[in-house]
Amino acid sequence: MGRKNYRRNKKTSKKSNKNKYSEKKYSENNYSTNTNSNNLVNIVDSNKDKYDSERKLNNNIKKENNTYVKGSFKQHQTYVSELESEIKDRYQLVLKEIEYRDPISDKLIGELDLVGIINGVWHIYEVKCNDGYEKAVNQLYRAKKYLSECADEILLFYYSGSKKELKEVA
């Protein structure tokens, strides 16, 4: 919206310049100041203040453990830590928030919320705050496709944080 006002005022300032030149023809001693150009500067400056205040708001987001705390992200982390505390006694090793990448391009493919490893068998857990079962299943199948060579067997699980419900994905 700020850009439109800028263009609109730029057009009006051109018109006022024509009037200014026509005044010069008739009387060269009278130099009038162009008020539209001053308005243009004020509009640009007010938009700058607006964007600066937005930038300050974005920079003032609270940080907790070097992660940005915003809305459901904190809620998701609490659900992951709840599930981790429930299952950590069952496994030899529990890994949390693991990123996996494509081996050829080194491109980030996804992130695993929890991985429990026992005797070479991986149990991968996907945590959702609300009931996002279909999305979680797609993410789990993609993870299994890429990580199938790393483990003897991979079992997939879905955890709904709001319902406190754990399901095995077939």
Q: Residues 90-136: pLDDT tens digits? A: 999 999 999 999 889 999 999 999 999 999 999 999 999 988 899 99
- Residue 115's H or E segment, with its range, is strand 108-118
Measuring CA to CA, how many Å separate 5 from each of 45, 138, 143? 12, 45, 49
Give 139's pLDDT tier (boundaries 50, 70, 90).
Answer: very high
Round to whole Å and give the CA distance between 120 and 133.
27
pLDDT at 27 > cutoff 90: no
- Give pTM, 2 decimals: 0.57
Under 8 Å between Cβ of 50 and 1: no
Under 8 Å between Cβ of 2 and 50: yes
Q: In 10 A of CB 46, how many CB atoms? A: 12
Q: Could you give the residue ranges of the DSSP H alpha helices within the chain?
A: 2-26, 35-59, 72-87, 133-147
Under 8 Å between Cβ of 159 and 127: yes
Tokens of 6: 């800028």
Residue 55 C-beta-side C-alpha neighbours within 13 Å: 6
pLDDT at 67 > cutoff 80: no
pLDDT at 88: 92
Round to whole Å and give the CA distance between 109 and 119.
26
Tokens of 124: 């991968």
pLDDT at 42 > cutoff 80: no
Give 52's pLDDT tier (boundaries 50, 70, 90).
Answer: low
Amino acid at position 102, single letter = D
